[in-house]
Structure 1
Amino acid sequence: MVEFKQQKVEEFYDIADELGSVSGGELFDFLAQKESLSEEEATRFIKQILEGVNYLHARKIAHFDLKPENIMLLDKTIAMPHIKLIDFGLAHTIEDGVEFKNIFGTPEFVAPEIVNYEPLGLAADMWSIGVITYILLSGASPFLGENKQETLSNITAVNYEFDEEFFSHTSELAKDFIRKLLVKDTRKRLSIQEALRHPWITTLQSKEETKLHGTKRTAVRQLKTKRLKEYTMKSHSSMPPNNTYVNFERFAQVVQDLSSAENEFSTLAMNYDSLQEDVEALISIYNEKETWYKEENENVRHELSQLRYEYRKVESMKRNLHYDISSVESGLGSLSGKYAELQSRYDSMTQELSEDLQLIQDLVDGFHGGDEGYCGGNFASVFTRDLNDSFMDLLNGSCSQDLLEGLKIQITDSQM
C-alpha cells in the first residue's frame, strides 16, 4: 500500500489510469530479447519514464523505488510499446516545510541522501533515472559492488565511470545526461523538467550520423542487448521475481474499496454531525425544562411552607377556640347552677311570701270585721300602715321591685 495520506489515494488511482494497465511484462526483459537496440530507441523509452515521473512530481509525489523491475510495458507486440511505472509501495507526498527521512529502496538504485539518512525529496527519483539510463545504455550497473555494503559505499562516494568497453559508441549527450543526474548535491541534480529539456531527450541524431556509423552500430547493438540480457538474468537470479504487475488490478480494486469506504465514512460523519446537533438540541431543551422545574419546585416549596404555617396557625386558633368553648361551657354550667339555686330560692321565698301575704290578708280581713270592738277605725288604720311599712322593708331586702310593686298594689287595694 502507498504510504501517504488518505486523500491522496484517489489521486494515485487517477495516476494508474493515466499510465494505463499492465500486460507486456518488464521493459528490460523486452529489450533483452531484442536482437538490436539503438540509442534512439533507448532515448524514447527514457523519455517515457521521464514523462511518467513528471506526472508524479507535478503532484509533489516521489516514487522512491524506480528500478527496471518497476517499469512495465503496456503491449510488447508493437515495435515501440508504451511503458508504465508500477509499485507505489514506497511512494510519499513531499510537503513544503515538512522534513521526511527514511532508509528504503533497492540498494543498487537508491540516492546518496537515502543512504546517509538525509532529508528526502523528488530529486531521489532523478538519481534512480540516471542509474536506469546507465544500465539501459551499457548493460552494466554503475555502483553495483560485491556486496550491499560495497554498493552503498560506491553510491555515497559517487564512484562510477563510463567504461570504454561499455560506452565506446554512446553519445556524449547521453553521457552528459547521466552525469547531470548522478550528482550527490540534490540542488545541482537535474529536476524532472530540466531532464525533459535536456538535448539528449529533445533531439535525435541525424540520419547522416546514423548512415555513417551504420555498420559499427549493428555490432554495438548486439553487444548492448547481450549485456542487457546478462544483466537482466543476473538481476532476476539475485532478486525475488516482481509480480507487482500481476496484482495491479487487485491494487486498483483496493483503491476503489478505499474510496467507497471513504464516501461511507463521509456519510457517517455527516450523520454523526446531524445526530450531534439533535443531541445538543435535546440537551438544551432538557436544561430549559430542568431550570423551569427547579423554579416551579422552589415556588411549590414556598407555597407548601406557607400552607404549613397557615395550617399551624389554624390549629393554634382551633385549640384556643376549644379552650374558650370549654371555658364558656364551664361558666355556663356554673351560671346554670347559680340560676337554679336562685330560682329555687325565688320559688321558696315566693311561696313563703304568698303564705305570709295570705296570713296578713286574713288578719286584715279580721281587723275589718272587728272594727266596732275597738276604738273606732283609728286602730285598724294605724295597724295597717305600720304593717305595710314593715312588709315593704322586708320585701325591699329580699324580692324584686316588680314583686314589691305588686304586693304594694295588692295591699293598697285591700286597704281601700
Structure 2
Amino acid sequence: MEKFLKAAKTIRNNWKKSVFGAIVLYYGGATAKERYEINILMRAACKEAVKYGNAMIEYDRNPTLITVVLNPVANKRKAKKDFEKYCEPILHLAGLQVDVVQTTSEGSAKEIVENLKGTEAIIVAGGDGTLSETITGLLRRNDNANQFPLGILPLGKTNSLANYLFPGGNGVEKVRQLITACMAIVKGNTMWQDAMKIEPIAQDEEAPSRPIYAMTSIDWGAFRDTEARSDKYWVYGPFREYMSYIFNGYKDSLTWTCKGVVKYTPPCAGCSNCMYKKQEIKRKWSFFVPSTQAAPETDRTKLVNPECSMVNELCFKTTELQIQPKAESILPALTVGLGRNQYSYTEFVSEGWRRIKGESKINEVIEARTIELWPESPKTEEVFEIDKEEFDVKPMKVTILPKIVKLFYEPKLQY
C-alpha cells in the first residue's frame, strides 16, 4: 500500500511527464499490435500465393507476364514502399513474372500503356489519376488491347473504383485491401466494366483533341472545389475534410453557379444507330485467367430503335453537377446528377459533413447514352474533375461504353 501511495504521489507531482509517457505507451502498444496483425495477414496471404506458384504449367509455356504501372509518388510517395512491402512478394510467390514500369510525370502512364507490348495483364499501382491515364492509354489503342485483364492496387490517395471492388480502410484494413486486390489477380477472377468516353468539342478554329476515358465520375461545382482543398488543412489531421467546409463555405472562389445546357440521347441496349460506333471486341487470345463474366456477344447491329437518336435538352443552373456510369443498370447508361440552386453557409457545411459520413448524395436527374455538356461562359479558373484529375471547363461529349474494360475482382473476401 505504501508503494502504491508513493507511486501515485510521484505521478501527481510529475503529471505532465506521466501523461506524455502514457500517450507514448498507448501508441507504442497500438503500433506493435498493428504490426503483429499485419504480419499474420501477410503470412496467410503468402502461404495462399505459394499454392498457385507451385502449380504445374504447360511445358511449352513461360510464367505469366504481368506489367505493373507504378506511380512512385502516389499517396505522398508511399505507393512504391507499400507496393514492395505488401504486393510484390505475393505476386512473385504466386509464380507471376512481374515487370514494374514506373511513371515519371503526368501523362506518363498513358504513353506507357499505348506503347506496351508482350504482356498478358496490366496492373495499376497508384490512385484514381494513374488508373484514368492507364484506361485512356488502353482504350486509345486500335489492336483490341482492351482484352488485357486490368488489375488495380489501391496505392493512391484516392481509390474510388478500387474501394468499390475491394472495400478497405486504414492500418490493418488497408493491408487487407491490398492483399485482396493482389489475390484477385492471382486467382484470375475477372468481370467487364463500363467506361466513359470523353471527347472535348472543338470550337472555332481549335484543333480537335484526343478523347480521354474515365471509370468513376465527372464532377463540377462547389462541393468538388471544397473537397479538392482539404489537404490544405492537414494540420487538423482526420478532421481536415470537415474543416475544409468550415473555411471555404463562405468564399466566392468556389464554383457556386454551374450553368449551361445538357443535350442527351436516351439509354439504348444497342441498335443499328449506335453499335457501329462501338469498338467491337474480337477475342484472339486466351489469357491465363478464367473470365467469370463474358463480354456481350449478341449482334445488335441489325436492330432498330427509333428512340436511340432522339436528342433532348435540359437547361440547368445549380451548385454542382455530376456525370457517372449508372451502377447495376439493366441498360448501360450515364446518370446526370444536379444539386440545389443555392445553399446558405450553415446548410452547405451541414450537407458537406453528411457527405463525408456517406449519409447524403447528389440526386440523379436524367439517364442517357450520350451527353453533350455545354457550359455557359465559365470563369477561367473553373475546372471539371474527371476521375480526380482536373481539366478546364469546356464543352464536351460523354458516351457510355458498355462492358469495355476487363477488371480483376474478388467475389468473396478471403482475409
TM > 0.5 between the two?
no
The TM-score normalised by the length of structure 1 is 0.22
Identify the structure with the greater helix proportion. Answer: 1
Identify the structure with the greater strand proportion. Answer: 2
The TM-score normalised by the length of structure 2 is 0.22
